Structure 1
Amino acid sequence: MLKKILKVIFALIFLLLIGVYIAFRTFTAPKSDADILKAYTKSVEKPILTKERFEGLDFRKIAIQKDTTLPTLVFVHGTIGSINDFSKYLSDSVLQSKANMIAYDRIGYNYDDKNSVRESIAFERNMLEYIIKDLDKNKVILVGYSYGGPIALSVKEKVRKIILLAPAVHSSVEPMPWMLNFYKWSLTRWLVPKVWKEASKEKLSHREDLKNFEQTWQETPNKVVDIHGTTDWIVPYENSKMLEEQFPKDQFELVDVPNAGHGLVWSNFGFIKEELLKNLH
């Protein structure tokens, strides 16, 4: 009887793990165009989703650009991430009334993307500069989240402002989560969903790539606002404290979010929204 009970328990645990894996794979997979637009069914302003091309590589961009007199928020997602990360911001009626907004999928994170991540902050910066090339730079505010932080910060062109959200900007405090081993080990790599393989590649190369930039962050001509959760362990708060030391006080503002983790763009939406609105003026 005990053996039968144990077999049933182990079978249920196995089925539960399979269910969790399938749910994780489905939930984190890049969304189709139709699924992306579902987030805007109740939005006052309807965004336009377009397919764009940079250096022979296709990517998606979503935009609400209705008034050229308004500033433009350009969101850059992290690792792992997509244009879907910022749907709550782009669909917010108050933000819509105060700003134009753009978000885009970085290469390797598009829906059904056949291309791999570039593993290069320099490439990502060039792509971002391409996306904003036709905009009035005096009205452009770059918003970089996580890995998107160094991408936005590496733009040397003068824009209105750069806002960093939990930016991963210093190699010495760049953690390597144990879960990366599932990608590193050939025996378990097949279990890793494609988009997570791309994220793993980018994460593994990020520490070395940062060394090409981290001593020159202060060379940006732009004012920088850095918003970071004090309990963030994925991209430690130390990143922002070290960044603060590189800048003169009149160029850099560090905004602490007490007890917030790395998911602050979702968990602290109201706070981030108010900071964005504050910096539109």
Structure 2
Amino acid sequence: MPSLYKISKITAYFLLSLLIVAYVAFIYFSQPKSDDDILKSFNNSLVNPVLTHDSFNGFKFRKIEVQSDSLKPTIVFIHGTIGSLADFKTYLSDSTLQSKANMIAYDRVGYNFKSKDTVQESIAFENKMLQYILKNKNFSNTIVVGYSFGGPIALSLKQPVKKVVLLAPALYSDYEVTPWMLSFYKSKLTRWLVPFVWKQASKEKISHPKDLLNFEDDWQNTPNSVVSIHGKPDWIVPYANSLQLKKVFPKDKMSLITIDDVGHELVWTEFTLIKQQILNLLD
């Protein structure tokens, strides 16, 4: 019969192996997807996407466009922290959305595949980059969709657009939540364990509350009408962000769609609802 020592040793090795496997999986699934992996999502698409690499202010970034008719409206998707253009592949490859609009998604600086550029920790920078991406588009016929940290980027636009759609937007410094995982990045003893892209996300998350102070008192002065879709149980970006925005926004310029049983993952789990809201704006 095995001794208690042997059982404890085997158990320890087993748990250590599980931790190593989980860590390796975490790194693998955290990495931005390659161009080939992105394009595989469109194997059954009616419209072939165009994936390009561009640069803005000396920073390289990746962009994907699904374009069928230059006269149609344009939808641009902005990802959060952490994220990439791949967050919106279900939307970009949807045949109904493709038939109604041209679509764009891009990797923000710091989240590009195999890039070592660092996040800029600046909504003002992100605003200018978004304007650069839309420079040849008709702003008045463009819907801007911002998820999580993409929300304040979308809302910061001063150019009139067709509509701004916010998905669980992180808009107010008072409602910023500090995830426990940030402690791994903050400590020099454990920072080396954090994958590069998560280091970028951590830097951005830490600086976000201070940066929001430059914008949050001016959200209601945007020239654009807004739809905000937010889950009540969202603990990563609290629902209070959308409630506060509704308090200060002119009533005729904002609608709030509340989901009672979904958290911050709504961009994936609530695809049907979000898609329908976008289609409503296109019709």
TM-score range, shorter chain: over 0.9
C-alpha contact (below 8 Å) 2:47/2:67 kept by paired residues: no
CA distance in 1, matches of 2:244, 2:95: 35
CA distance in 1, matches of 2:186, 2:129: 28
Q: Once the 2 structures are TM-superposed, how far is the Cα of residue 44 of structure 1 from its aligned partner?
A: 1.5
Match for 2:177 among 175, 178, 184? 175
Structure 2 counterpart of 1:9, which letter? T
1:31-68 per-residue CA deviation (whole Å, 9 max, x = no partner) reads 11111111111111111000111111110000011112
- After TM superposition, which residue ranges in structure 1, 4 or more long, deviate above 3 angstroms? none
Structure 1 residue 267 corresponds to structure 2 residue 269? yes
Match for 2:225 among 217, 223, 229? 223
Partner-residue secondary structure (3-state), 1:172: helix
Partner-residue secondary structure (3-state), 1:253: strand
Match for 1:71 among 70, 73, 90? 73
Q: Once the 2 structures are TM-superposed, how far is the Cα of residue 161 of structure 1 from its aligned partner?
A: 0.8
Partner-residue secondary structure (3-state), 1:74: strand
Q: Once the 2 structures are TM-superposed, how far is the Cα of residue 2 of structure 1 from its aligned partner?
A: 1.1
Match for 1:137 among 119, 136, 139? 139
Structure 1 residue 241 corresponds to structure 2 residue 243? yes
C-alpha contact (below 8 Å) 2:151/2:167 kept by paired residues: yes
Structure 1 window deviating more from structure 2 (78-87 vs 61-70): it is: 61-70
Structure 1 counterpart of 2:135, which letter? K
How does 1:56-135 map onto structure 2 within 5 Å? 56-135=58-137
CA distance in 2, matches of 1:119, 1:90: 27
CA distance in 2, matches of 1:258, 1:129: 34
Partner of 1:277: 279
Gapped regions of structure 1 (runs ≥ 5) = none
CA distance in 2, matches of 1:277, 1:258: 22
1:168-213 per-residue CA deviation (whole Å, 9 max, x = no partner) reads 0000010111110000000000000000000000000000000000
Gapped regions of structure 2 (runs ≥ 5) = none
Q: Once the 2 structures are TM-superposed, how far is the Cα of residue 112 of structure 1 from its aligned partner?
A: 0.8
Partner-residue secondary structure (3-state), 2:54: strand
Partner of 1:28: 30
Q: Once the 2 structures are TM-superposed, how far is the Cα of residue 271 of structure 1 from its aligned partner?
A: 1.0
Partner-residue secondary structure (3-state), 1:144: strand
CA distance in 2, matches of 1:223, 1:7: 62
- What is the identity percentage for the equivalent residue pairs of Structure 1 and Structure 2? 57
CA distance in 2, matches of 1:88, 1:101: 12
How does 1:180-219 map onto structure 2 within 5 Å? 180-219=182-221
Partner of 1:250: 252
Partner-residue secondary structure (3-state), 1:96: helix
Partner of 2:51: 49
Partner-residue secondary structure (3-state), 2:248: coil
CA distance in 1, matches of 2:180, 2:214: 25
CA distance in 2, matches of 1:229, 1:46: 33
Q: Give the TM-score normalised by the residue count of structure 2.
A: 0.98
Q: Once the 2 structures are TM-superposed, how far is the Cα of residue 114 of structure 1 from its aligned partner?
A: 1.7
C-alpha contact (below 8 Å) 2:68/2:98 kept by paired residues: no
Structure 1 window deviating more from structure 2 (133-142 vs 232-241): it is: 133-142
Match for 1:232 among 217, 231, 234? 234
Partner-residue secondary structure (3-state), 1:84: helix
Q: Once the 2 structures are TM-superposed, how far is the Cα of residue 69 of structure 1 from its aligned partner?
A: 2.1
1:235-275 per-residue CA deviation (whole Å, 9 max, x = no partner) reads 00000000111111100111111211001010111111111
CA distance in 2, matches of 1:57, 1:21: 30
Partner of 1:151: 153
CA distance in 1, matches of 2:260, 2:43: 33
Structure 1 counterpart of 2:242, which letter? S
